[in-house]
Structure 1
Amino acid sequence: MVDVVPADHPALPGHFPRRPIVPGVLLLDRVIAAVLADAPGHALAGFPAAKFLRPLAGDEAFEIVWQREGDQAAFRCLIGDTLIAEGRLQLRVP
């Protein structure tokens, strides 16, 4: 799934002044939404792991790739071939 956080998103100006980047929590929110959209009835139970490797600017397109691994979802966020974030979500299975 390809996603873009608009440059005028209210979270960007304060994170950080003069060089706004997408906060990690906002990036994770987009990952959660992508995973739960494809896993009806499931809920987020936690983040066993999350690693941010490169900043994401507003209006910069990125791809969310994930796969189910039991009661977890392993995810990667990419800009082209560049990995910008990766980790796992713990899912509560219905």
Structure 2
Amino acid sequence: MRFIIPADHPSLPGHFPGRPIVPGVVLLDRVIEAIESDCGPLPPLRLPQVKFLKPLLPGQSASVELSGEAPRWRFRVLCGPEVLASGEIVAEAQATA
């Protein structure tokens, strides 16, 4: 999944004034969107491992790569060949009544 965070995204003014970078939580939101586009709505999630390696700037094109299958996925967020973030997302088991 490819995406671009526009310069007018509401999270950018405070992150950081004068040199905005896309917050990690926005990148993670795109990772979850990529998983949900394949699997549908997800139950509560855990993120046992996440590493942010390089910043994404507003207007840059990035992509999400996924591997694995429910309930555990590994992900990488890339800007061209550079890895910006990587980690693991685990869907919690749904409680039954």
* TM-score normalized with structure 2 length: 0.88
Per-residue CA distance 1:7-42 (angstroms, 9 max, x = gap):
110111100000000000111011111111111253
Aligned match of 2:29: 29
Q: Separation in 2 of the partners of 1:22 and 1:59?
A: 10
Matches within 5 A, 1:61-72: 61-69=61-69, 71-72=71-72
Contact 1:41 1:93 in 2 (8 A): no
Instruction: Name the larger-Rg structure.
Output: 2
The 3-state SS of whatever aligns with 2:39 is coil
1:57 aligns to 2:57 (yes or no):
yes
Contact 1:52 1:85 in 2 (8 A): yes
Q: Look up the equivalent residue of 2:32 and give its one-letter code.
A: I
The Cα shift of 1:70 comes to 5.3
Q: Separation in 2 of the partners of 1:86 and 1:76?
A: 4
Following TM superposition, the consecutive aligned residue runs of length 4 or more in structure 1 with deviations greater than 3 angstroms are none
Change over 3 Å in CA distance of 1:44–1:76 after alignment to 2: farther
Q: Look up the equivalent residue of 1:17 and give its one-letter code.
A: P
Aligned match of 1:4: 4
Aligned match of 1:39: 39
Unmatched segments (≥5 aa) in structure 2:
none
Unmatched segments (≥5 aa) in structure 1:
none
Aligned residues: 94
* TM-score normalized with structure 1 length: 0.90
